[in-house]
Structure formats: C-alpha cells, structure tokens
C-alpha cells in the first residue's frame, strides 16, 4: 500500500449543554451558527437517507449523501472535498445523553493520510467549538 492510499480517521468530541433532541435538530439546521451549513456561502441540504448535500465556503466545495439518520442519536453521511483527494470519506456524528447535556462525537473516517486530510481535525474542532458556543450562550 502506498502512502497516498493510506487513510486515517479523526475524532472530535464536545459536551453540549442542551438536551439530545435539541442538539440533533440544531446540527441539521442551517440557521444554527456553528454548523457547516450556516457557514456556507451557498448550500443544498436534503437531510434524509439517500438525500444529498452540497456546501461551498470561500470557493471550496463539499458534498455527499446521507446514509443514516436516527433521530436523536446519529447522523451519518459521505463526504468529498478537494481535501479528500477524490476519496469518498464518511462522517458519523453520534449524540449521547449525559445528564442534562449531550455528548456529541464526530468521527470522520476514510480521510487520506495527507496534510489536507489531517487538516479535517482542525476544521471539525472549529465547527464543533462554534456549535457548542451557541448553546453555552443561552
């Protein structure tokens, strides 16, 4: 296996100070600051199994299809962008009740083991950090 064919996964977690169903719904709502949809210059979002998404920010396009939706526990979709080197990767977000809070765990698997692939960790930390702040401010 060549280095270009190796893949990695990044995992990012945040405890969100809100109930499970509110966090799940907000993650798929383009009006919620901190989501990828909200940050996009333009987007298309059809959050259902088999539904497609597209979003672009500063000229960089991201797209995929939803493969699993289990409200309020899990969202899973494919992911492609210039930073995945043409590979279709998978983003899985789980929502777990932690008392009055929600533990949100995002795993992005199948990323190329390259600097752009590894850069997804910084990107997801940015988005989940901003997303969590929306609930802290309430």
Q: What is the DSSP string of 64-100?
A: EEEEEEETTTEEEEEEB-GGGTT--EEEEEEEEEETT
Mean pLDDT across 16-39: 95
| Domains identified in the chain and CATH numbers | 3-136 (3.30.530.20)
Beta sheet of 74-79, edge-to-edge order: 7-16, 101-112, 89-98, 74-79, 60-70, 52-57, 42-45
pLDDT digits 0-9 by tens, 30-87: 999 999 999 999 999 999 999 999 999 999 999 999 999 999 999 999 999 999 998 9
pTM: 0.93
Please tell me the predicted confidence (pLDDT) of residue 136.
80
pLDDT digits (tens, 9 = 90+) for 95-137: 999 999 999 999 999 999 999 999 999 999 999 999 999 998 6
Whole-number pLDDT of residue 86: 86
Q: Is the pLDDT of residue 1 over 50?
A: no
| Residue 27 DSSP one-character state | H
């Amino acid at each position: 296996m060549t280095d270009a064919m190796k893949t990695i996964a990044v995992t990012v977690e945040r405890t969100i100070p809100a109930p499970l169903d509110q966090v799940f719904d907000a993650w798929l709502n383009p009006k919620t600051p901190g989501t990828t949809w909200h940050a996009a210059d333009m987007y298309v979002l059809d959050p259902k199994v088999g539904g497609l998404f597209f979003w672009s920010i500063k000229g960089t396009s991201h797209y995929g299809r939803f493969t699993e939706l289990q409200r309020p526990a899990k969202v899973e979709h494919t992911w492609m962008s210039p930073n995945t080197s043409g590979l279709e990767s998978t983003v899985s977000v789980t929502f777990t009740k932690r008392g009055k809070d929600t533990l949100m765990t995002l795993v992005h698997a199948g990323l190329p083991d390259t600097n752009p692939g590894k850069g997804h960790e910084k990107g997801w930390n940015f988005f989940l950090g901003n997303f969590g702040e929306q609930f802290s401010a309430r």
